[in-house]
Amino acid sequence: MPRISRFKRRESDRSGFKYFEISLIKDGPWKVSGEEFDVPPPSRIPLGGEGDVATGDLRAASGFDLGVVAADSAAGYDNPTVYITAAGGITPVFTHPWMRVTGSNAAVTVTAIPQLVRGREGQLLTLQNVDSAILLTHGSANALNLLGSRGTLQTVSGMIVNLIFTTANQAWNEISKSRI
């Protein structure tokens, strides 16, 4: 009776890896090693990853309703840039999840009182600066409460500032800021 060598080399059809004296398993049309065998077989049910469409409510926590966007209107998908002037200040717009803002072709120090138009209790506002710098000043008259009560906040291109409005101090309170 012939002996089978322990060092007999076999090659996997799927990965091309070489195995020594390992029984290969039939997995569909392939012969594969035990480590490659799909147990259980891969599911054909989508797991909700990128590109999958959910069947649930499409409204985000911010109140942005995706159903309002016209499917045939390219303008419906645009998030316009709001140009900030010194005397005009910032009037929050909540038609998109965040506001793209920039100084009017140059760095702007906002002098309007209040600098940010007051909102409603618990309202969230995200400002994304996309070009020229904007300088905002901390203070109750300005309706702006910065973290650490620092004197000013200068947003530069790529900076994102998250604010929440509270009626306790009648101001937009800084939650966080980051730069992308």
Task: Identify the CA nearest to 94 among candidates 48, 118, 126.
Answer: 126
Reply yes or no on whether the pLDDT at 19 is more than 50: yes
Determine the Cα–Cα distance for residues 130 and 103; give it in Å rounded to an integer.
Answer: 9
Please state the rounded mean pLDDT for residues 129-142.
89
| Sheet with 152-155: strands ordered across | 108-109, 134-137, 152-155
pTM flag (> 0.75):
no
DSSP assignment of 58-115 equals: -B-TT--BGGGS-TT-GGGG--PEEEEBTTTBB----SSSSEEEEESSS-EE---SSS
Reply yes or no on whether the pLDDT at 61 is more than 90: no
pLDDT in tens, 72-127: 444 545 788 888 888 888 888 888 888 888 887 788 999 899 988 999 999 999 99
Q: Which residues pair with 174 in a beta bridge?
A: 163
Q: Which residues pair with 126 in a beta bridge?
A: 162
- Non-local (6+) Cβ contacts of 15 within 8 A are 32, 33, 36
Report yes or no: 72 and 35 within 8 Å, Cβ to Cβ. Answer: no
pLDDT of residue 151: 87
How many residues does the structure list for the chain?
Answer: 180
Mean pLDDT of the chain: 76
pLDDT of residue 67: 46
